Structure 1
Amino acid sequence: MHAQRRGGTTERVYGRLRQDVLDGVLAPGAPLAEVDQSVRLEVSRTPVREAFARLVADGLAQPLPGRGLVVAPLDPGAVEQLYDVREALEVKAARLAAQRRDAAEFTEFAHGFARAPELLGAGEAGLDRYYELTARFDEAIDAAVANPWLQQALASVRTHLVRIRRLARHDPARLSAAAAEHQLIAEAIALGDADLAAHAVHVHLHRSRSHFSSALRHGSIEEEVSA
């Protein structure tokens, strides 16, 4: 019983820390100290230590010489590698989704992204709703693909993708452009046009990669996160 309770606590602590990293509450490069987090989360150090080990396994935390454990930084090299994998997976997923889709479902997503400017102009609550829309869109593509191996690979990539997306939270121009790109992807899938869906994903990822790689090289993202 004690082991079960401890396991439940570890799971809860891990879930909270993981979400804080993904949401940027714990920013890239931020130190992760057992004592600090155990006090913040009101738990003992043991579940925090176990949760830290899982964050390292996820690639969301890493040890740095002289600094201990930190939230894994986002650097241009890592972003380029992530996008290489992301393009291979998402282009294939878009093709399969277009072949196996529920047309009405993806037509509704296209309408949702067409209304995205209203959400993006509605403050933090609107931004939250926009990110919920993109998350549901990803889930719908996964369901249409119906390939658990591809879904698992995409889930791993999206863990890190969430961090990058969140760093654009207060960049209205990039968010508006991304919404239009998602709208075209949804329309192509709804039409069952696999070539158009794949091309739309390729364009979206090219623009997204260019934006974030440039921002990381010039340090604008780090300045925003630390502000």
Structure 2
Amino acid sequence: MPAQLLQLEAAPDLVDRVYRSLLDAISGGTLAPGTRITQEEIAQQLAVSRQPVLQALRLLKKDGFVQDAPGRGLQVAPLDTVAIRNIYQVRGALDALAARLAAQRRYRMPDEVIAAGRAAARSDDVAAMIEADLGFHRAIYEAAGNPLIGESAQLHWRHLKRVMGAVLQEMGQREAVWDEHQRIADAIAAGDGERAARLIEDHSLQASRTLAERLEQVLQSAPTNDPRRQT
């Protein structure tokens, strides 16, 4: 009789799939701030065992998307205006570095990236707006030639997507953002790294202020017992 083998941990790709599924639900508002989360319920809905759910929840807690609930268990973390400003401060520095490096290569942003962004801004499709915005910045990260920039920005974007999903529908002048994107792209293509960095830092600062202000309005309009107000 062969020796008994140790049980394998949950497959990393399955844990990642559970993580991404839960993150999409949190970012999209399906799992709203304050929602209690149970391993059993998630495992049942996703048709997986509890082990990958447990590991995915640990990762989500480490990344700040869920937190300990009163009493016991976990809940979706509340939206936080202070955290948003902090994230944008770091992301602005990363974006400026990426813009400088991309400008050294005189990277030309594909016209379809800007066109898709403008089309999304004119629509009511918040998911398309977020994806277009991320696509623009991701293109600059890749053009920079340093994979650590995109990897470092990835977690920040996960948090920002959540806030953008909560407030973007109510924001006006959405297409003006793509005028800013066009100026950034033009500076990069011209090889003017300092101008590109300055423009993208200004863009990040303005986005931080706008999102934080809009989020504060959303939180203030929520009932006093709404978990979203726990900032």
Q: Over aligned residue pairs, what C-alpha RMSD do you find?
A: 3.0
Distance 1:66 1:182, change over 3 A: farther
Task: Report SS of the residue matched to 1:134.
Answer: helix
Q: Which residue of 1 aligns with 2:67?
A: 62
Distance 1:150 1:9 in 2: 26
**1:1-227 equivalences in 2 (<5 Å):** 3=8, 7-66=12-71, 68-103=73-108, 106=109, 108=111, 111-112=114-115, 116=118, 118-124=119-125, 127-173=126-172, 175-220=174-219, 223=222
- State the TM-score, normalized to the length of structure 2: 0.79
Distance 1:80 1:51, change over 3 A: same
Q: Decide whether the 8 Å contact of 1:96 with 1:194 is kept in 2.
A: yes
Distance 2:75 2:53 in 1: 14
Q: Decide whether the 8 Å contact of 2:122 with 2:175 is kept in 1.
A: no
Deviation, 1:52, is: 0.5
Give the letter aligned to residue 188 of structure 1: A
Distance 1:107 1:58 in 2: 33
1:119-168 Cα shifts (integer Å, max 9, x gaps):
333443xx444433323222211111111332321223222222222223
Q: Decide whether the 8 Å contact of 1:101 with 1:144 is kept in 2.
A: no
Distance 1:39 1:222 in 2: 34
Distance 2:221 2:8 in 1: 40
- State the TM-score, normalized to the length of structure 1: 0.81
Q: Decide whether the 8 Å contact of 2:85 with 2:209 is kept in 1.
A: no
Task: Report SS of the residue matched to 2:79.
Answer: coil
Q: Decide whether the 8 Å contact of 1:33 with 1:69 is kept in 2.
A: yes
Deviation, 1:53, is: 0.9
Mark the runs of 5 or more structure 1 residues left unpaired by the alignment. Answer: none
Distance 1:110 1:218 in 2: 31
Deviation, 1:43, is: 2.6
Kindly indicate which of the two structures has a greater share of residues assigned to helix: 1
Structure with bigger gyration radius: 2
Q: Decide whether the 8 Å contact of 1:22 with 1:162 is kept in 2.
A: yes
Distance 2:114 2:137 in 1: 16
Q: Decide whether the 8 Å contact of 1:92 with 1:198 is kept in 2.
A: yes
Between the two proteins, the alignment pairs up a number of residues equal to 220
Task: Report SS of the residue matched to 1:180.
Answer: helix
Distance 1:148 1:193 in 2: 22
Distance 1:200 1:97 in 2: 14
Deviation, 1:17, is: 1.0
Identity %: 32
Distance 1:32 1:7, change over 3 A: same
Deviation, 1:220, is: 4.5
Moved more, 17-26 or 77-86: 17-26
